[in-house]
């Protein structure tokens, strides 16, 4: 059984293109039938008008009550499907007596006009011509059997419909080929994603339409960010293991030794264990500060408010004040994890060393993000400011 995924982009494109093509072809075919019939009617009407003018001219030039031109029309009616009805000088003559009675009411109407007359399945196109000769008014009706023309037009119209159907089928096939060709970069992208998941590729390299450039760049950026996070995570784990290795080795050595643990050694053990606990607390706080923000751009108001609330709970005896002037530029082009880590580490230090109050001011301009954290602690001597960036310096 053929499965059709209605959410498929290929299915949607083919459905829309096929629907539009079907609508255009059917509309064109219907308009073709209408315009073709109107064109044939106008053409026959003009020809009947010229025949009527010619017959009236012969009548005005001749002396017979019924001109020879009309007699010739009458004799050729069975072949050319023409007829005439003439009312002049009180008498009515017709080339076909069967139509004389039905066309008689048209003789009493005024004005020259092209008229459609139907009798059963037969459709007659009649042109009425008023004229005056030797002071006497006359009316001439010249008609032609339009049903024969309509039958030919219908045959032609259905032939055009058949050709249009063939062209529609060819157009649908071409649409399928064009859609498959246009979606080829998406299939290549899917194959590269599968290769990426299987570990056969490191990055996406795709010659794709410009609409996919942003997607490919964003996916590569995410993978770069994941690699950076993994690298930082490994470095963090390595640093933590190195930081814990020395105090753990010292504690293990003391516990394995045979010497009794006096008060001095007990204080040293306690100091080592407190160092281990402090290192673990620092890493846990750093992880908590970063939060679940992987792959998200920083929102200044939301992320800073979340951090302030967290530090208010971590340091309930401190007062944390937040002021920001982000305005409409609330989203900044920095990864939310990095923003939270940068701001959180400084706020954590301020919470540790302040006496009572910590003020945080965030300003965002078109090209600059400024973070200002001020606390009422003792601070750092000016000659020691340059050493703040050194690893392991307190």
Per-residue confidence (pLDDT) for residue 359, from 0 to 100: 92
- Residue 86 lies inside a defined structural domain of this protein: yes
DSSP state, 260?
-
Q: For residue 357, what are its two tokens? A: 């109050």
Residues 286 and 305 in one domain: no
- Residue whose pair of structure tokens reads 């003009």 in the numeric block: 46
Average pLDDT, the chain: 79
Whether residue 31 is found in the same domain as residue 155: yes
Residue 325: CB atoms within 10 A of its CB come to: 12
The CATH number assigned to the domain holding 115 equals 3.30.450.20
What integer is the mean pLDDT of 18-38? 90
Whether 307 has a pLDDT exceeding 80, the answer reads yes
**Same domain, yes or no: 45 and 113:** yes
290, 318, 351 — which closes off a domain?
290
Would you say residue 173 lies in a domain?
no
pLDDT score for 159:
93
Q: Does residue 78 lie in a domain region? A: yes
Range of the domain at 241: 201-290
Q: Over pLDDT 90: what percentage of the chain?
A: 7
Is residue 189 a part of any domain in this protein? no
| Same-domain status, 227 and 286 | yes
Q: For residue range 76-120, what is the model confidence (pLDDT) as tens digits?
A: 444 445 777 888 777 777 777 777 777 778 887 888 888 888 877
- Non-local (6+) Cβ contacts of 382 within 8 A are none
**Residue 49 phi, psi (nearest 5):** -65, -40
Tell me the per-residue pLDDT of 327-377, one tens digit each, with 9 for 90 and over: 556 777 777 777 888 888 888 888 888 998 999 998 888 778 888 999 988
Model's pTM, two decimal places?
A: 0.52
Residue 3 covered by a domain:
no
pLDDT of residue 166: 93
What is the predicted pLDDT for the residue at 78? 42
Q: Give the confidence band of 162 by pLDDT, cuts at 50, 70, 90.
A: very high
- pLDDT value at position 301? 84
**326 and 385 belong to one structural domain:** yes
Residue 151 or residue 251, greater confidence: 151
pLDDT of residue 72: 43
Residue 280 falls inside a structural domain? yes
The reply to whether 318 and 277 lie within a common domain is: no
Q: Which of 17-21, 140-144, 281-285 bottoms out in mean pLDDT, i.e. has the lowest? A: 281-285
Position 182 pLDDT exceeds 60: yes
- CB 305, CB 322: distance < 8 Å: yes
Q: Please state at what angle helix 263-290 crosses helix 336-353, rounded to 10 degrees.
A: 140
In a domain, 66, yes or no: yes
Chain position carrying tokens 């264990």: 273
Asked if residue 393 lies in contact with residue 387, where contact means CB atoms within 8 angstroms, the answer is yes
pLDDT, tens digit, 9 for 90 and up, residues 242-297: 777 777 777 777 777 777 777 777 777 777 787 777 777 777 766 665 555 554 57
Q: What is the pLDDT of residues 194-237, one digit of tens each?
A: 887 787 887 777 776 777 777 788 888 878 877 877 887 788 77
Mark whether 146 and 27 lie in a shared domain: yes
Q: Give strand pairing partners of 93.
A: 86
Domain end among 118, 143, 168:
168
pLDDT at 1 over 70: no
Q: What are the C-alpha distances in Å from 352 to residues 108, 224, 247, 365, 376?
A: 113, 34, 23, 30, 11
Let me know whether 112 and 259 are in one domain. Answer: no
Q: What is the pLDDT of residue 127?
A: 87
Same domain, 278 and 303: no
For residue 79, the model assigns a pLDDT of 41
Please check the confidence at residue 393 and state whether its pLDDT lies above 70: no
**Do residue 21 and residue 141 come from a single domain?**
yes
191 in a domain, yes or no? Answer: no
Res 125: pLDDT: 84
Q: Residue 334 maps to which CATH number?
A: 3.30.565.10
List Cα–Cα distances, 232 to 28, 227, 304, in angstroms: 66, 9, 23
Say yes or no to pLDDT of 69 above 50: no
In the listed set 290, 321, 354, which residue is the last one of a domain according to the structure? Answer: 290
* Number of domains comprising the chain: 3
User: 322 and 236: one domain?
Assistant: no
Same domain, 267 and 340: no
């Amino acid at each position: 059984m053929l499965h059709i995924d209605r959410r498929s982009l290929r299915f949607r494109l083919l459905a829309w293109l096929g629907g539009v093509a079907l609508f255009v072809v059917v509309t064109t075919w219907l308009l073709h039938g209408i315009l073709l019939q109107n064109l044939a009617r106008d053409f026959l009407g003009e020809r009947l008008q010229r025949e009527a003018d010619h017959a009236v001219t012969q009548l005005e030039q001749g002396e017979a009550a019924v001109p020879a031109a009309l007699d010739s029309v009458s004799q050729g009616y069975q072949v050319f499907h023409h007829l005439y009805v003439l009312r002049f000088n009180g008498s009515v003559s017709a080339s076909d007596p069967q139509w004389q009675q039905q066309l008689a009411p048209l003789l009493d109407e005024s004005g020259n006009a092209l008229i459609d007359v139907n009798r059963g399945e037969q459709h007659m196109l009649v042109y009425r011509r008023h004229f005056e000769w030797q002071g006497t008014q006359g009316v001439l009706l010249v008609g032609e059997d339009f049903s024969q023309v309509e039958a030919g037009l219908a045959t032609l119209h259905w032939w055009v419909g058949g050709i249009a159907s063939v062209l529609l089928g060819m157009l649908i096939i071409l649409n399928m080929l064009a859609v498959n060709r246009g979606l080829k970069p998406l299939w290549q992208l899917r194959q590269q994603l599968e290769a990426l998941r299987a570990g056969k590729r490191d990055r996406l390299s795709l010659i794709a339409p410009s609409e996919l450039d942003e997607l490919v760049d964003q996916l590569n950026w995410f993978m770069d960010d994941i690699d950076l996070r993994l690298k930082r995570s490994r470095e963090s784990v390595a640093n933590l293991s190195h930081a814990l290795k020395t105090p753990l080795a010292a504690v293990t050595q003391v516990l394995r030794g045979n010497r009794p643990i006096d008060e001095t050694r007990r204080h040293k053990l306690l100091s080592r264990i407190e160092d281990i606990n402090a290192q673990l607390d620092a890493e846990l706080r750093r992880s908590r500060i970063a939060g679940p923000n992987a792959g998200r751009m920083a929102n200044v108001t939301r992320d800073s408010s979340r951090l302030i609330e967290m530090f208010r709970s971590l340091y309930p005896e401190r007062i944390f004040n937040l002021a920001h002037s982000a305005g409409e530029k609330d989203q900044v082009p920095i990864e939310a994890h990095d923003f939270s880590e940068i701001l959180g580490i400084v706020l954590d230090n301020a919470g540790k060393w302040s006496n009572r109050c910590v003020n945080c001011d965030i300003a965002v301009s078109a090209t600059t993000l400024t973070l200002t954290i001020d606390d009422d602690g003792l601070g750092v001597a000016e000659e020691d400011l340059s050493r703040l960036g050194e690893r392991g310096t307190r």
